[in-house]
Amino acid sequence: MSEPLDLKTIEKKAFRAVHQDGLWDIYIGGIVMSMSVLAYSTSSEAKPFLRFGLYLAGMGLSYLLFWAGKKYITVPRLGQVKFGPRRQKRRLTMMIVLAGIVLLQLVILAGTIFLWQNPERAAVLGFSQTDPDLERLLVATVGALFVGPSMVFLAYFNEFMRGYYIAVILSLAVFSLIWFGEPVYLILSGLLILIPGVVLFIRFLRNHPLPPAEVSYD
């Protein structure tokens, strides 16, 4: 035996195998690139509903690719697995933490809208709207902080190491969307997430050929 039988490592490897198909990366990359349509809103005369429709279509297409990829490509090659109670508990903790983050984000968003519409109250609290650049910087930073931590928690609880890299890129993408309003930064950020995903997906297909039809235990 070349290595000791480490049960924790066996479990970790089995768990991480589920994320090695690159589909998460392709999905998130697709979402970021869809957001670029929204960034066009500041620079084009396109109708808002058309822009938003295109953005939603991009999001929908990304999800469809992810869902179909998992169902028709990954699972038939990798197989199905259900993890033990420790993982299920961890998943529940993740859901609670993420729900808490979303709640906090909603409070911040509501507070921001309220102060935006009540400049005199904002001034009392020390937020002045006299400097538009500073204001935009603040909104861009808050926007980036909205997506980054959520992704970091997702990466931590799912032991999805590339998730930390995606969190940084995602934060930069949102920041650039608000700060620069230029779609090119979003397209670049999306590509930086999507390309490693495509490489992983191709590698996954090479390493996991479709098993013969008789492979079952019926």
- The footprint of other proteins (CB under 8 A) covers 5, 7-8, 10-11, 13-14, 17, 76-85, 208, 211-212, 214-218
Q: Which residue, chain included where needed, has tokens 């859901």?
A: 95
Q: How far apart are CA 49 and CA 38, in angstroms?
A: 11
| Residue 157 beta carbon to other proteins: minimum distance, rounded to whole angstroms | 17
Of 13 and 121, CB closest to other proteins:
13
Q: How far apart are CA 123 and CA 132, in angstroms?
A: 14
| Residue 205 beta carbon to other proteins: minimum distance, rounded to whole angstroms | 13
Of 45 and 218, CB closest to other proteins:
218
**Residue 153 to residues 19, 67, 93: CA-CA distances in angstroms?**
16, 22, 10
Of 135 and 159, CB closest to other proteins:
159
| Residue 200 beta carbon to other proteins: minimum distance, rounded to whole angstroms | 16
Of 13 and 203, CB closest to other proteins:
13
Q: How far apart are CA 15 and CA 81, in angstroms?
A: 9
Q: Name the nearest CA neighbour of 84 among 19, 140, 11.
A: 11
| Residue 20 beta carbon to other proteins: minimum distance, rounded to whole angstroms | 11
